[in-house]
Amino acid sequence: MPALPAAREPGRYRIALVCLGNICRSPTAHVVLESRLADAGLADRVEVASSGTGGWHVGNPMDPRAAATLTASGYDPSRHRARQYDATWPEAYDLVLVMDEANLADVGGRSDRVGMFRDLDPVDPGGAVPDPYYGGDDGFEEVLAMVERTSDAIVAALPSALRGTD
């Protein structure tokens, strides 16, 4: 996957964020990335969606610990409802970013438009966003910090990807 693959349709960009349950990591990234896009004036040109490879939580709001961590940092987690990933997403989106290696295997591996979210981490690239579901509150804080700096890097790279050039 290039830094950000070029828009399929120049001037519009669609990003899908994928984790296991779609109640902790990818919804956190969804809320933060949308907030950063709004701050950058890109909200009307860049669409964000999220889903989980598992279907257990479909229709549910975010995990209360993930929601509380976002609220404490000034974000609004209230609109999230969990969705399940399906195999049509890599064709529907310009970019699919998964949170860990298990998610990557579940979506069929890397491709031109599928990679790991933290490939784009400007501080410590290449790893996973660790699953905080079975851990303590500090896991949610760690996820938020990774997501905030990586979302900033994605927003910085989007103007060139939006033009349809890598």
Q: Among all residues, which ones are annotated catalytic?
A: 19, 25, 131
Residue 25 or 83: which CB sits closer to ligand 4NP? 25
At 63, list the tokens: 């995990």
Residue 43 or 102: which CB sits closer to ligand 4NP? 102
In the bound complex, what is the minimum distance in angstroms from residue 143's beta carbon to ligand 4NP? 8
Give CA angle at 159 (107, 9), nearest 5°. Answer: 60
Q: Are the C-beta atoms of 158 and 39 separated by less than 8 Å?
A: no
In the bound complex, what is the minimum distance in angstroms from residue 116's beta carbon to ligand 4NP? 14
In the bound complex, what is the minimum distance in angstroms from residue 25's beta carbon to ligand 4NP? 3
Residue 7 or 20: which CB sits closer to ligand 4NP? 20
Contacting residues toward ligand 4NP, per CB under 6 A? 19-25, 52, 56, 131, 133
